[in-house]
Structure 1
């Protein structure tokens, strides 16, 4: 998923920015700032942060190295440990704390969860902050980490990921279904027994009819994963061709008397349960309107419900009066009575609000120049978590100059990824990368064709090679606009890329667009975006979730705000190999994993994007938040924290 943060979202993952909502679907103006050229060294000197946009301090503090215990990938499988899904090695067990930043002393492992047997007291209000809202609150459309995090406690699917703070957080468990079904018909049929007695937040009963209508609605509203996650359901092709007429006849079959739902697939899909465990497969009332609900709450089945939403001010969640816990693994009862999500504060102001006890958590990462202060004075309130994610610069393969593969490769050669890592906060908060799959991920093998001197991992830029490719392409002198989010980190990276493109001979400029709409803006081909800055965070641990979702022909939807293939990349030969890899998940997982490795290399060579780095997550919480539980799938499970 994309990430809506100092970044995904819709948009999860993001892994950014806004939900898949049209710009005109949000109230308030769209803010676009243009920045003139300035040298990147202003942002890079001595690992200093961007000072001129700071609010609180009178000077920039040096960002020291963060001393972290363990190794980022100590539990991650190596390149020979091939798995195509449920990678237990990805659990964030090496959760670490800030402390002794300037001395570089090794630190004790950060553990936020309460001691065994500890029990919090339900009640109170959890106060969250984000610089901007993440667009639509329609769970079938929003594709942002920011709202995926809350959708997991607002809505339920037939199955979900276990709400756990260890590697079992990647396990799929039964949710609205009583049990996990065994696949039948060679892996093409799943029959779910729906739990009885469940109610939506509006008091209506949950029935098999709601399940059928919800799967139909995924296609009718042109959900961003309809063509990549759910296109294997019988009848999906017709639904994709004519969404308004979608019936999924023969694909989703319900039995009202037996209270069952049978889903038939055209081909076996070893990842199907993971795909329906994300919020895009949330079960909603059958009468939910067939449109993007925008700011209008939709009743769910989780422990919380949205009481009100104004994307310019606040999203307010309160307890669902009809919720009764049916599975502590799938959907445990929550602790806070109310969760308020306020929008509009800068990252600087958010840090200060948490320090002063006026807020409890911020979605956006703290500004780099505040990390030293947080790590020394508030060490017991901060944690760092390695993520299976990437920051990248998608290039539009259908617009000049990036319709020429030589130009896209030139950009990859020219980028100094260590400089970009410094802009993000330093080498302990990010790792340079130049391939699609992140380290430790299933099918990952180190590969980087864009580094000086050769090698499997990135070490340095090769500007000479980059300039030679641009000269061959004959595209020098063309104008290029970089679309960034209007926040400290994304703007700084945008200005750095501007300098790189200028050095390559282009006339580049940066446009910083409000986080509220940036992700949907860069997806829509009508906006003619040439290059942008984006992020992607896994929906579930499978290589298809990076490669197929972001770079397959099926994920490119021209003219749509829900086209996560931002590059517009479509290579039929690579698509065929993706399809083959996916088809072998159940029958020959080893061969499937090998094919995904080949796809990763092929996409990297075609360069529809420039991967910049793999990030780590910095969470800063107030002193009154207890039992902060970090899941490898959900990140913070906010319903399981209590406030004192």
Structure 2
């Protein structure tokens, strides 16, 4: 998942161990008030079947629901899947290819419509009709998905999604077993929307929801208001707990500097964007009790377009991978407490990860130093020296600084480089669309769920590349049939032997890394800075801070 990360230097945190705040019980006296959030820009479309950003997904959690969801909990419990709009986890049959859910009764959308089976069927069809960014990967194994991918507008998923009104059940049929299907169904791309929701990107128009909150106002240039859903009645505390604040007000447009000051002054409660480096010492010494640092399964990388010069040449791509000083990037991001240098795709301590770094001064398990001589020689050998390269970055302080650094790297090895910052709410879709002819970009990927396929298959499979689409998550345009086949083998193997599958994913990780379609930069941790008003801060490993489980009174 594309995540617009909150990050900062943690030099001030090095002095002592981090202690998590104590857990607090749900207390009715804390109900009410407004939590005030800040971001430099909106996260793009409001449409949950299309939006693929951390900023969007975090705010969808108290708004939308799927048949299942990730438990709203801290720690490892937050990775477990629980029943949501379904009464229970599905009955599995047909050798792992059929999943039968019984839909809860009495749930209403925020517009007053009652939830029904027709909404479930229409929502699964809509995933394909709007060409959702994961329709060709996460949901391609549903019976009938092949026809939907070939002709999105006439999608029916016949035989794949079957409603039984008499029994109150919805049955999902797969072409073959999928060990990760419940994870995929627990993501925002599979939430249930009203059946009459238009089958096009809804952009800035809020869609009715089932959760305790609804999006009541949105202006992509100003902000978003999330207020209580008057039709909500809690059905499952672990899946969709009632929240504390009456309103979450999310304002856009303030710089990072201004946002920090607003939080310090009690004018705001949290900022999404990276904390500016010149405020870190001050925050570390004066506001330690307002800082929360959390581990992440994530990857910052520079995507290289394998279908455009100069990076349609593998040697040119490898040259960039050798030239980048990842220690410099770690410092730009915030230091060793908040980031670690990497060469490969899969992050440390993640399924399928085995330390590997071919693009370093001394190739081996870990990155040690750049090799500029090797990089310059590869540029010479590729015949691409002197070519122009434009790097597209988000218009945030950290992304701009990374872009400027990479510009200097490209210049030093023989290219003519420049940097083009684009607003954060536009950059991610811009770099995906092949019509924009992006040669190189800086972006991030954060796990959708804990499986190697969520990095490798999503970002580098042939199916994830779509010409002319804003939802072409294979930004590098990389397509290797042999690697694709090995990824499919690993997916199939995961149904019966996950350990063996993870070993195969490690091979895929090495092969994709060798091709240098993307240059790994570093893996981050997350630093949240909240106001003194915020109580009951809870961090979910799947979707980050659970905003509406905090209180402000």
User: Is the pair's TM-score, using the shorter chain for normalization, greater than 0.5?
Assistant: yes
The alpha carbon displacement at 1:380 in A equals 0.5
Contact 2:82 2:239 in 1 (8 A): yes
Q: Distance in 1 between matches of 2:544 and 2:128?
A: 28
TM-score (norm 1): 0.85
The range that moved more, 524-533 or 381-390, is 381-390
Q: Note if 1:510 corresponds to 2:419.
A: yes
Secondary structure of the residue aligned to 2:548 is: helix
Equivalences for 1:6-405 in 2 at 5 Å?
65-67=11-13, 104-111=14-21, 113-114=23-24, 121-405=30-314
Residue matched to 2:506:
597
Counterpart of 1:359 in 2: which secondary structure? coil
Give the CA deviation at 1:66.
4.1
Change (3 A) 1:350 1:262: same
Q: Is the 8 A contact 1:209 1:256 kept in 2?
A: no
Matches within 5 A, 1:466-485: 466-485=375-394
- 1:340-392 per-residue CA deviation (whole Å, 9 max, x = no partner) reads 00000011100000000000001112112211111111110111112100110
Q: State the distance in 1 between where 2:415 and 2:357 align.
A: 25
Contact 1:421 1:430 in 2 (8 A): yes
**Local SS of the residue matching 1:383:** strand
> CA–CA distance in 1 between the matches of 2:131 and 2:149?
8
Normalised by the length of structure 2, the TM-score is 0.98
Question: Hey, what's the Cα distance between the residues in 2 that align with 1:624 and 1:265?
Answer: 48
- Residue 3 in 1 paired to residue 3 in 2? yes
Residue 112 of structure 1, CA deviation: 5.4
CA distance in 2, matches of 1:124, 1:589: 46
Change (3 A) 1:66 1:455: farther
Question: Given that residues 6 and 489 in structure 1 are in contact (C-alpha distance below 8 angstroms), is that contact kept between their aligned partners in structure 2?
Answer: no
Report deviation, 1:105.
3.0
Cα distance in 2 for residues equivalent to 1:274 and 1:432: 28
Q: How far apart are the structure 2 equivalents of 1:112 and 1:118?
A: 15
Question: Do the aligned residues in 2 keep the contact of 1:112 with 1:626 (CA within 8 Å)?
Answer: no
Q: What is the alpha-carbon distance in structure 1 between the residues aligned to residue 198 and residue 65 of structure 2?
A: 18
1:420-569 map, 5 Å:
420-569=329-478
CA–CA separation in structure 1 for the residues paired with 2:29 and 2:507:
49
- Give 5+ residue unaligned stretches, structure 1: 8-48, 50-62, 68-103
1:325 Cα offset (Å):
0.3
User: Closer, same or farther in 2 for the Cα pair 1:637/1:417, shift >3 Å?
Assistant: same
CA distance in 1, matches of 2:11, 2:53: 30
Q: CA RMSD of the aligned region, Å?
A: 1.3
Counterpart of 1:516 in 2: which secondary structure?
A: helix
Is the CA contact 1:199–1:323 (under 8 Å) kept in the aligned structure 2? yes
**Native 8 Å contact 2:87 2:102 kept in 1:** yes
| Cα distance between partner residues in 1 of 2:355 and 2:380 | 29
Rounded Cα–Cα distance in structure 2 between residues aligned with 1:607 and 1:505: 18
Distance 2:202 2:418 in 1: 35
Deviations 1:218-263 (A, max 9, x none): 0000000000100000000000000000000000000112110000
Deviations 1:482-507 (A, max 9, x none): 00111111111111111110111110
The Cα offsets for residues 247-297 of structure 1, whole Å up to 9 and x where unpaired, read as 000000001121100000001000000001000000000000111101111
Equivalent-residue separation in structure 2 for 1:369 and 1:428 (angstroms):
17
CA distance 1:565–1:112, change in 2 (3 Å)? farther
Task: Give 1:213 shift.
Answer: 0.2
Q: 1:499, 1:207 → 2: CA distance?
A: 56
8 A contact 1:361–1:621 mirrored in 2: yes
- How far apart, in 1, do the equivalents of 2:367 and 2:59 lie? 36
Q: Equivalent residue for 2:517?
A: 608
Note the C-alpha offset of 1:65.
Answer: 2.4
Tell me the distance in 2 between the aligned counterparts of 1:301 and 1:328.
14
Give unmatched runs, 5+ long, in structure 2: none
**CA-to-partner distance for each residue in 1:182-206, whole Å, 9 max, x for gaps?**
3211111100000011111111111
